[in-house]
């Protein structure tokens, strides 16, 4: 039996190993070629490598398609943009465009492209490349996936010569200098037959950013090399590896152990687990995200036809304000975010954007006050019934509402647990509905089948987009197609302010208008901001010598809209024990372990054999 | 569920009808094709139960005009009657066109192709080790029935069988990969390979190193059933007259076991191995998730969380079909091998 | 019912009890189960459910075990021990109900497939075989994802995917029972399908169904926890959702063993207990196995 079992096991093992060999024949070939490349440059010193952990994997290497944070970040490191946020002020600064000007009617933008910038294959970066990129997105539906909306307002884009790019827009567009679109090399991409299905798995990739992707092992890692011909000069490290984890707990274990050097976008619990580790720097700064509740304010389509089944009480701004009073934001920060967020006294723009940030002060501020909430509801005529649940003033319908959250989101679950408790105290019965993100988007964005829902937004340096999500025109069409509303809000005053700021190119005046819009959102309360989660990251001090955040004062390392942090990365120089021999030691240990196991197994079998023959002798 | 040896034997005996092997294989093949057809039908209707408009689901996060949506509906065939949609679905599936992933914007068949290798490696190795371990321990436990080894091995196996796979995986990850207190982290914390993976034969070692913990987790949870079935079918054989006769003839104990009892007891176990492949695949889903193992299970969990219906649908069908094919193969091979069936 | 029948039944019961008492592992199983079921039933009498409401939790977040909280607290300062007690209710309920559902489907399919002949049996067996080989967990995940998360849908998802092996077992037993002469006699006397199936076959397969259901509860509890971990939770506090919570809130990496270990150990204990009971029942009730353990 032992033999049969062993034989079976050996056979299956051999089979699986064969599978493995076949499955990896091509990648290992690729690896060999890379090894030979490195072998050519072998005499040089120890490579400076930084390994970044990410808790998602690449959705696509094609920037026209990629939408995940990890992918757009890597693409920001691989490709130049027209403009990039200034590392200190976050105001738009030059990148591939050196300078720009607008026509008096604010409809024509002329960009002067950088002289001397080259693609990593040596060809110069020209206005033709930029024009090709924008035109491709404007004309090819397949290329619209990632950044279609950003060019919606474009009329024409032309390159009048190699260094001059002219963009004509249909309406004035203030966010023109924060286009989220990487400029792609025309000479490489022109020949791609169908952008919408192209994978862009060609290495080394041709780019113009500080790093070049040289290898992508799907669902495992991306290997980036410093771009020696980068126009600012090559970064100070040789390689940047981005390593994908599916399991955030494993990623934290990996950071503590040294399998990775840096990880961003942490949740509170994972961040706290890093505390007390002498080798790890905990990075806790203001974040760019706002978390808020959406109330169904009597949803309607863009034409004003009522849709959905929102609770009628929520049409009453007093009910919305009363609920606002029943939210203890400090406790939510404490409990749902491990204290690692800022309770929101303002609206949907987080305090990280000091310039645009607005918050309610003094009398205007809504505080956690259940008595006040009860008073407002009593006064408004929503009387409590025998069961403690209020009814509509005209009687009949009880204040029983649904709270829509996403499935598989522990933080939202926690918020739901607290909110249910507090609203019970003010006579509103809340039941939690967990929806997958498809249904959630559909029910809170187009069909309006919700009462209260949770949402959030990662705000860009220019807040235009988040403000636009509360416009009348963003409400769905009559046939139910969503326009991207975050609240079904439709308010004359808000619309007026929006249109004014859109054409106001004087920055302080525009900032003032944007603050007024936030105040309007705060008092009308179609949405109520709960908190602004901090940006939580961690990195190993013994591997990363220094890294500059964006903005440089107290900013973000991973996931911001700039390559600045990875560009300024410096690895700890290691003289004594180079990493290469470290992995050599690792391999040696493995070989040792395997040898011991094999010997042990052999010895065991031998012993059994002897015992068996002893049995036989009886 | 823990399958009792009797169930396995009942299943096996039904196959024992006295028919020519070829005819038997044909019948089984027909049954398998019917099962696969059933999978395709079930998948179609199961995924039509999902409320909401697939076109809107497909374009979430991307503002689209009503015209674009109408075009997409036409492309997805949503404007046609259900019967036509069904025929279309069957046709596509048979051509291995499983649709396009929302998340990756790539054909589902391609995505699955990327993931099959790692899952085969994990499930194959895990199954081999679990079957080997289960058979060995089961044999020993039955031969020394009631002894210390018997009680210890059966108890351990049953206890491990009761452990939720993901929980065991997380614990092993925390102790053996991350390291706790004096225990250093011996194994990698994620995946099947690292950036600095060596080439050539060392690559196999590199992958093997990554495979240890996922495989250990999978084996620990599934090997109990092989042990139990091997043990009880061998016990039954030991009670048979021929074993007593063989012993009485003065054959060595070891020979009686190896030449007579074990080969006869082996068949129910082999049947179980294939009958329970679905169970092992289920275990692999949790294991892949915990260890970021880039296989089908991980793709499936990701697709459910997305949700990415095309991927869910494709992975589901593939796994079901694979399990059905394995079972049919096992049925036929079993029929060829079973001495009782052959001699008849 | 005649006195002899009653006496015979009582004698059978006594014999069963005596034989079961000889199964030591089975007795351990029963003891563990009694404790678990009692704890679950008494939880509302002994403890205050308001401790489960996060807004009324009194402890610090993730505090280690202390006098007030014998098993420490969770991420919202709720007592882990209290949650274990209340979680037992949901875990056991889902386990029992889905095993019950699976037992009903399996018994109906099994008896029908064994009783009828021809194409009915063929179709029933084809469907059974189909469910038998399909990866149950994968199918349950798809069902849970489509139906949404509530205790009812989880019970449905587990029950619908796990009945096939019961059906096979019951079918084999039904075939054996129907081969007995007295069935033929009763048919000759004019008994219909329904009468034969419910009066003769069902009582004879019932013991086997019982043993099988016990084993089924064990796997249903494990499946519930796995579904909860992979994101298809019931939305109620169960041992599975507690494990998911400990994972979500980083209990393992921050060293909060009191939150990670107890729910897992409870699952192991109860699942093992059900398995031991099921095996003991099988041994007692199934003469073919009696020699074999």
Q: How confident is the model at residue B57 (pLDDT cuts 50, 70, 90)?
A: low
Q: Give the number of residues written for chain A.
A: 618
Lowest mean pLDDT among A125-139, A415-429, A465-479, B219-233: A465-479
Is B2 at the interface with chain C, CB within 8 A? yes
Q: List chain B residues with CB under 8 Å of C172.
A: 7, 10
CATH code of the domain in which B192 resides = 1.10.3720.10
Check whether B56 has a pLDDT greater than 80: no
> What mean pLDDT comes out for the span A601-618?
45
Answer whether residue B71 is part of any domain.
Answer: no
Answer whether residue B130 is part of any domain.
Answer: yes
Note the pLDDT tens digit of each residue in C43-68: 888 888 888 888 888 888 888 999 88
Listed in sequence order, the residues at least 6 apart from C240 whose beta carbon sits closer than 8 Å to its beta carbon are B164, C91, C224, C225, C226, C227, C228, C229, C233, C234, C263, C267
Answer whether residue B67 is part of any domain.
Answer: no
Query: Rounded to whole angstroms, how far apart are CA atoms B312 and A438?
Result: 14
Helix/strand/coil (H, E, C) string of A164-191?
EEEEEECCCCHHHHHCCCCCCCHHHHCC
Q: Which residue has the higher pLDDT, A91 or A359?
A: A359
| Shortest distance, CA B270 to any CA of chain A (angstroms) | 11
Q: List chain A residues with CB under 8 Å of C234.
A: none
Query: Rounded to whole angstroms, how far apart are CA atoms A81 and A96?
Result: 6
| A interface test, pick of C54, C61, C244 with most A CB neighbours within 10 Å | C54
Nearest chain C residue to A422 by CA distance is C55
Is B129 at the interface with chain A, CB within 8 A? yes
What's the token pair of residue A205? 């990739």
Q: List chain C residues with CB under 8 Å of A414.
A: 54, 75-76
Query: Rounded to whole angstroms, how far apart are CA atoms B188 and B183?
Result: 14
Q: List chain C residues with CB under 8 Å of A418.
A: 54-55
Q: List chain A residues with CB under 8 Å of C145.
A: 436
Query: Rounded to whole angstroms, how far apart are CA atoms C250 and C254?
Result: 6
The per-residue pLDDT for B281 is 86
C105 within 8 A of C160, measured Cβ to Cβ: yes
Query: What is the largest distance, in Å, between two alpha-carbon atoms of chain B?
Result: 87
Answer whether residue B62 is part of any domain.
Answer: no
Host domain of residue B192: 5-49+80-343
A339, A300, A314: which is closest to A527 by C-alpha?
A314
Domain count for chain C, please give it.
Answer: 1
Cis peptide before C187 (omega within 30 of 0): no
Host domain of residue C138: 2-61+69-292
Counting as contact any 3 or more CB pairs under 8 A, the partners of A are: B, C
Is B167 at the interface with chain C, CB within 8 A? yes
| C interface test, pick of B3, B4, B27, B322 with most C CB neighbours within 10 Å | B4
Q: List chain A residues with CB under 8 Å of C149.
A: 407, 434
Q: Do B135 and A591 touch (CB under 8 A)?
A: no
What is this structure's pTM?
0.85
Which range of A41-45, A418-422, C173-177, C211-215 scores highest in mean pLDDT? It is A418-422
Nearest chain B residue to A64 by CA distance is B105
Query: Rounded to whole angstroms, how far apart are CA atoms B17 and A200?
Result: 56
Question: Which H or E run includes A94?
Answer: strand A92-94
Q: How confident is the model at residue B121 (pLDDT cuts 50, 70, 90)?
A: very high
Query: Rounded to whole angstroms, how far apart are CA atoms A300 and A423?
Result: 26
The per-residue pLDDT for A582 is 42
Query: Rounded to whole angstroms, how far apart are CA atoms B288 and B215?
Result: 10
| Shortest distance, CA C285 to any CA of chain B (angstroms) | 13
Nearest chain B residue to C228 by CA distance is B166
Task: Tell me how many helices (H) and strands (E) chain C has.
Answer: 13, 0
The per-residue pLDDT for C23 is 83
Note the pLDDT tens digit of each residue in C224-246: 999 999 888 887 889 999 999 99
Tally the C-alpha atoms within 13 A of residue A285's C-alpha that lie toward its C-beta.
22
| Crossing angle between the packed helical segments A317-325 and A370-379, to the nearest 10 degrees | 160
Beta bridge pairs of residue A226: A211
Note the pLDDT tens digit of each residue in B176-203: 988 887 778 889 988 888 888 888 888 9
Answer whether residue B22 is part of any domain.
Answer: yes
Check whether A615 has a pLDDT greater than 60: no
| Shortest distance, CA B280 to any CA of chain C (angstroms) | 8
Helix/strand/coil (H, E, C) string of B137-156?
HHHHHHHCCCCHHHHHHHHH
Answer whether residue B59 is part of any domain.
Answer: no
Query: Rounded to whole angstroms, how far apart are CA atoms C48 and C53?
Result: 10
Domain count for chain B, please give it.
Answer: 1
Nearest chain A residue to B69 by CA distance is A481
What's the token pair of residue B123? 């499930």
Check whether C209 has a pLDDT greater than 60: yes
Q: List chain C residues with CB under 8 Å of B306.
A: none
Residues 143-182 on B with a CB inside 8 Å of A are 170, 173-174, 177-179
Q: φ, ψ for residue B311 (rounded to 5)? A: -70, -45
Helices (H), A326-361: 329-336
Residues 135-164 on C with a CB inside 8 Å of A are 145, 148-149
Cis peptide before A34 (omega within 30 of 0): no
Question: Which H or E run includes A371?
Answer: helix A370-379
Answer whether residue B126 is part of any domain.
Answer: yes
CB count in 10 Å sphere of residue B38? 18
Check whether C290 has a pLDDT greater than 50: no
CB count in 10 Å sphere of residue A22? 11
Which range of A293-307, A313-327, A577-591, B135-149 scores highest in mean pLDDT? It is A313-327
Helix, strand, coil percent content, chain A, rounded in steps of 5 = 40, 20, 40
Question: Which H or E run includes A138?
Answer: helix A127-139
Check whether B28 has a pLDDT greater than 50: yes
A303 within 8 A of A496, measured Cβ to Cβ: no
A339, A327, A391, A378: which is closest to A527 by C-alpha?
A327
Output DSSP code: residue A157. Answer: E
Check whether B16 has a pLDDT greater than 60: no
Nearest chain C residue to B228 by CA distance is C293
What's the token pair of residue B97? 């066109």
Check whether A413 has a pLDDT greater than 60: yes
Is B202 at the interface with chain A, CB within 8 A? yes
Q: Which residue has the higher pLDDT, B6 or B105?
A: B105
> What mean pLDDT comes out for the span A558-572?
89
- Count interface pairs A-B at CB distance under 8 A: 217
C123 within 8 A of C113, measured Cβ to Cβ: no
Answer whether residue B64 is part of any domain.
Answer: no
Is B298 at the interface with chain A, CB within 8 A? yes
Note the pLDDT tens digit of each residue in B94-111: 888 888 887 888 899 999
CATH code of the domain in which C110 resides = 1.10.3720.10
Give the CA angle between residues A301, A303, A304 to the nearest 5°.
Answer: 65
| Shortest distance, CA C133 to any CA of chain B (angstroms) | 6
Buried b (16+ CB within 10 A) or exposed e, C253-277: bbbbbbbbbbbbebbbbbbbbbbbb
Beta strands at A164-169 and A108-113: parallel, antiparallel or unpaired: antiparallel
**Hey, is A60 helix, strand or coil?**
coil
Question: Which H or E run includes A159?
Answer: strand A154-161
Percent of chain A with pLDDT over 70: 85
């Amino acid at each position: 039996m032992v033999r049969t079992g062993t034989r079976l096991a050996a056979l299956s093992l051999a089979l699986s190993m064969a599978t493995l060999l076949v499955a990896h024949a091509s990648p290992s070939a690729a690896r060999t070629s890379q090894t030979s490349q490195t072998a050519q440059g072998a005499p040089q010193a120890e490579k400076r490598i930084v390994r970044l952990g990410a808790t998602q994997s690449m959705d696509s290497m094609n920037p026209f398609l990629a939408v995940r944070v990890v992918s757009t970040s890597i693409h920001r490191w691989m490709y130049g943009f027209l403009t990039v946020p200034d590392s200190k002020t976050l105001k738009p600064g030059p990148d591939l465009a050196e300078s720009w000007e607008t026509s008096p009617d604010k409809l024509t933008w002329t960009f002067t492209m950088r002289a001397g910038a080259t693609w990593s294959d040596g060809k110069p970066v020209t206005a033709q490349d930029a024009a090709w990129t924008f035109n491709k997105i404007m004309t090819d539906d397949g290329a619209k996936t990632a950044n279609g909306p950003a060019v919606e307002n474009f009329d024409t884009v032309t390159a009048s010569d190699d260094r001059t790019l002219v963009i004509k827009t249909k309406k004035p567009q203030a966010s023109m200098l924060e286009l989220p679109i990487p400029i792609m090399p025309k000479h490489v991409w022109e020949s791609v037959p169908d952008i919408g299905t192209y994978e862009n798995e060609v290495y080394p990739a041709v780019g113009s950013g500080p790093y070049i992707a040289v290898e992508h092992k799907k669902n495992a890692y991306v290997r980036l090399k410093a771009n020696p011909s980068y126009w600012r000069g090559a970064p100070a490290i040789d390689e940047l590896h981005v390593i994908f984890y599916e399991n955030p707990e494993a990623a934290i274990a990996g950071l503590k152990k040294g399998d990775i050097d840096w990880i961003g976008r942490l949740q509170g619990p994972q961040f706290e687990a890093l505390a007390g580790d002498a080798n790890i720097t905990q990075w806790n700064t203001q974040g760019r995200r706002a978390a808020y509740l959406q109330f169904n304010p009597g949803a309607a389509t863009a034409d004003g036809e009522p849709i959905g089944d929102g609770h009628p009480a929520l049409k009453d701004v007093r009910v919305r304000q009363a609920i606002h009073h029943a939210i203890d934001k400090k406790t939510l920060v404490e409990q749902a975010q491990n204290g690692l967020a800022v309770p929101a006294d303002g609206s949907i723009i987080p305090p990280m954007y000091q310039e645009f940030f607005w918050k309610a002060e003094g009398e205007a501020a809504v505080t956690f006050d259940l008595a006040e909430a009860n008073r407002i509801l009593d006064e408004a005529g929503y009387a409590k019934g025998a069961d403690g649940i209020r009814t509509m003033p005209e009687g009949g319908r009880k204040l029983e509402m649904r709270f829509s959250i996403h499935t598989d989101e522990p933080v939202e679950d926690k918020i739901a647990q607290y909110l249910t408790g507090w609203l019970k105290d003010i006579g509103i019965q809340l039941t939690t509905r967990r929806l997958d993100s498809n249904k959630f988007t559909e029910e809170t964005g187009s069909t309006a089948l919700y009462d209260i829902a949770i949402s959030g937004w990662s705000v860009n340096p220019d807040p235009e987009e988040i403000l636009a999500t509360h416009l009348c025109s963003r409400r769905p069409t009559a046939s139910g197609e969503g326009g991207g509303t975050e609240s079904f809000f439709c308010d004359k005053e808000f619309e007026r302010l929006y249109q004014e700021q859109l054409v106001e190119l004087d920055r302080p005046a525009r900032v003032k208008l944007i603050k007024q819009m936030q105040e309007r959102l705060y008092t009308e309360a179609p949405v109520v901001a709960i908190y602004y989660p901090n940006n939580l990251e961690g990195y190993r001090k013994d591997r990363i010598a220094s890294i500059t955040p964006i903005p440089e004062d107290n900013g973000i390392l991973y996931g911001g809209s700039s390559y600045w942090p990875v560009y300024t990365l410096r690895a700890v120089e290691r003289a004594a024990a180079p990493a290469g021999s470290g992995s050599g030691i690792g391999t040696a240990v493995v070989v040792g372990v395997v040898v011991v196991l094999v010997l042990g197994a052999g010895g065991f079998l031998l012993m059994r054999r002897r015992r068996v023959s002893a049995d036989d002798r009886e | 569920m823990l399958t009792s040896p009797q169930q396995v034997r009942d299943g096996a005996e039904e196959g024992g009808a006295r028919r020519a092997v070829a005819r038997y294989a044909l019948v089984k093949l027909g049954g398998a094709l019917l099962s696969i057809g059933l999978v395709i039908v079930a998948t179609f209707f199961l995924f039509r139960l999902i409320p909401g408009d697939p076109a809107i689901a497909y374009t979430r996060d991307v503002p689209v005009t009503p015209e674009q949506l109408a075009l997409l509906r036409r492309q997805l065939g949503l404007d046609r009657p259900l019967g036509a949609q069904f025929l279309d679905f069957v046709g596509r599936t048979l051509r291995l066109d499983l649709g396009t992933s929302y998340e990756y914007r790539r054909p589902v068949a391609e995505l699955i192709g990327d993931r099959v290798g790692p899952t085969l490696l994990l499930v194959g190795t895990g199954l081999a080790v679990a079957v080997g371990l289960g058979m060995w321990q089961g044999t020993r436990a039955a031969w020394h029935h009631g002894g210390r080894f018997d009680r210890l091995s059966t108890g351990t196996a049953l206890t491990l069988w009761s452990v939720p796979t993901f929980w065991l995986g997380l614990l092993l990850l925390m102790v053996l990969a991350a390291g706790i207190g004096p225990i250093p982290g011996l194994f990698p914390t994620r995946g099947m390979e690292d950036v600095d993976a060596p080439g050539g034969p060392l690559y196999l070692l590199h992958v093997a190193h990554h495979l240890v913990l996922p495989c250990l987790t999978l084996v620990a949870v599934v090997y109990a059933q092989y042990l139990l079935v091997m043990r009880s079918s061998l016990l039954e054989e030991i009670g048979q007259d021929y074993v007593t006769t063989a012993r009485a003839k003065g054959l060595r104990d070891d020979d009686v076991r190896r030449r007579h009892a074990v080969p006869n007891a082996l068949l129910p176990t082999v049947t179980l191995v294939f009958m329970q492949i679905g169970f092992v695949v289920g275990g692999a889903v949790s294991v892949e998730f915990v260890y970021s193992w880039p296989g089908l299970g991980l793709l499936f969990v990701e697709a459910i969380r997305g949700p990415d219906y095309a991927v869910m649908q494709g992975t589901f069908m593939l796994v079901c079909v694979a399990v059905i094919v394995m079972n049919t193969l096992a049925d036929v091979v079993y029929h060829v091998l079973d001495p009782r069936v052959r001699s008849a | 019912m005649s006195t002899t029948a009653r006496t015979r039944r009582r004698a059978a019961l006594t014999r069963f009890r005596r034989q079961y008492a000889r199964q030591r592992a089975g007795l351990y199983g029963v003891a563990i189960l009694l404790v678990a079921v009692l704890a679950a039933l008494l939880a509302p009498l002994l403890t205050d459910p308001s401790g489960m409401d996060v807004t009324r939790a009194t402890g610090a977040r993730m505090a280690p075990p202390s006098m007030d909280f014998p098993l420490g607290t969770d991420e919202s300062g709720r007592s882990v021990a209290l949650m274990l007690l209340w979680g037992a209710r949901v875990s056991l309920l889902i386990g029992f109900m889905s095993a019950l559902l699976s037992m009903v489907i399996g018994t109906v399919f099994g008896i029908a497939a064994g009783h009828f002949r021809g194409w009915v049996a063929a179709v029933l067996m084809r469907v059974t075989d189909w469910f038998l080989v399909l990866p149950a967990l994968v199918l349950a995940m798809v069902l849970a994802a489509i139906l949404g998360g509530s205790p009812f849908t989880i019970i449905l998802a587990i029950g619908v995917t796990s009945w096939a092996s019961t059906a096979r077992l019951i079918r084999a037993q039904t075939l054996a029972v129907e081969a007995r002469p007295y069935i033929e006699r009763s048919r000759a006397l004019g008994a219909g399908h329904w009468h034969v199936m419910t009066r003769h076959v069902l009582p004879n397969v019932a013991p086997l169904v019982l043993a099988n259901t016990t084993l089924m509860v064990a796997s249903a509890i494990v499946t519930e926890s796995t579904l909860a971990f992979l994101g298809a939770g019931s939305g109620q506090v169960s041992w599975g959702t507690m494990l998911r919570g400990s994972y979500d809130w980083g209990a393992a990496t921050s060293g909060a063993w009191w939150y990670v270990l107890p729910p897992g150990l409870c699952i192991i204990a109860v699942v093992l207990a059900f398995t031991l009971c099921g095996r003991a029942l099988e041994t007692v009730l199934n003469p073919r196995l009696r020699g074999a353990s």
